[in-house]
Structure 1
């Protein structure tokens, strides 16, 4: 193997200005739908809504982790988390967040940059009720990002809450923990990346120029960046 590892040619379809939807929301939704369809057909786009979320801690050190994008509407992409987690603490401290969706098999990615806005409790409760019972129990059992002595301690906490809130088959059998919520990205920039041969990739960027949401065409301008 040559130094630097194996290199792959990016044989993607690319993206042209005339092929982009008129708003960031419509374009991102189209690409997410493409990724979900490809996973259903070929199985090579695992977790199409896997979202890498980047924050900065109080010392200025960058942090990144992968969650699932649970919301996508005109207000922006969103995810759920423990409100006491490292990501939540860092979001509260700075107000800023960046995130990306990446589909290597399709040579596509989307980058979001903007401000973090709490997801409303009604939305959180509605989403929480759709989670499998075991996932709702784990939201109680895990004090996310905090140290734990060993896995046995974590399992014991899970079993304790499982006994407290037994599975009755009802979406209301496990209440939403007070410290569990979510964040939405109020975007100022949405970048669309499409891989091309010879590393001459396409990068088309929606940048906010006026008030409006992700589906307001007049709030955004589109320009191309060099790869």
Structure 2
């Protein structure tokens, strides 16, 4: 199945703005757009805000890629819960599949696939735990039901049936006084946040005829370097 991007009129040399895609921006993504400290943060903030304003489903959803100690990769979708100059933050169980893989190989990638806007942003870098203060601040901002479910779940471990899962969650809820009200639910000891600290960031903008725009930032000892990539 082939899906088109933007119009079907091939742009002539020097008329690349005729290849505008669904993001509504006629100008072509260019390395000069990358400003800020670090240089990815301003454009990413704008694109994330525009994804939210466009009301696409789960605009903060991102595909997280990890690898185990033997280098075997796995991907899954998680929610970004923080994005600033320090990096990209998400929360999970430390004993989950991804938590164990990050313990064995603390390097990951994330992709924000804003397909409806014909935009993507990719991050790669080392992953560290966030502070306990950050974990607690996020935990206590969550709805009580989400806290209880996370407390009940031995994430990524097998369970016999949906009924068993619901009964386990109900038992935990009863222990704290109920789903709607009761005692404060503490942060589980094996649950918390990770921060991906980017060393590679790539912005992708869909264009007509698959002649997409790709701009990559790479960090080394001398700082950040931007370059245009062929699609």
The alignment's TM-score, normalised by the length of structure 2, stands at 0.86
**1:31 is the counterpart of 2:47:** yes
Give the counterpart of 1:175 among 173, 178, 186: 186
SS at match of 1:188: strand
- Deviation string for 1:119-157 (max 9, x for gaps)? 111100000011001000011111111111111111111
Segments of 5+ residues of structure 1 without an aligned counterpart are 40-44, 212-218
Distance in 2 separating the partners of 1:47 and 1:119: 23
Segments of 4+ moved more than 6 angstroms: none
**1:146 is the counterpart of 2:157:** yes
Residues 7-156 of structure 1 correspond to what in structure 2 (within 5 A)? Answer: 7-10=3-6, 11-12=21-22, 13=25, 14-22=28-36, 23-39=39-55, 45-156=56-167
- Deviation string for 1:2-36 (max 9, x for gaps)? xxx24222424341233333411111111100100
- When the two chains are superposed, the root-mean-square deviation of aligned CA atoms in Å is 1.7
Task: Please state how far the C-alpha of 1:176 moved relative to its aligned partner.
Answer: 0.6
Distance in 2 separating the partners of 1:111 and 1:193: 8
Segments of 5+ residues of structure 2 without an aligned counterpart are 7-20
Distance in 1 separating the partners of 2:99 and 2:200: 21
Task: Please state how far the C-alpha of 1:204 moved relative to its aligned partner.
Answer: 0.6
- Deviation string for 1:96-124 (max 9, x for gaps)? 10111011110000000000110111100
**1:191 is the counterpart of 2:187:** no
Give the counterpart of 1:220 among 216, 224, 229: 224
Residues 199-218 of structure 1 correspond to what in structure 2 (within 5 A)? Answer: 199-210=210-221
Distance in 2 separating the partners of 1:69 and 1:147: 26
Query: What is the aligned length?
Result: 210
The alignment's TM-score, normalised by the length of structure 1, stands at 0.87
SS at match of 1:65: strand
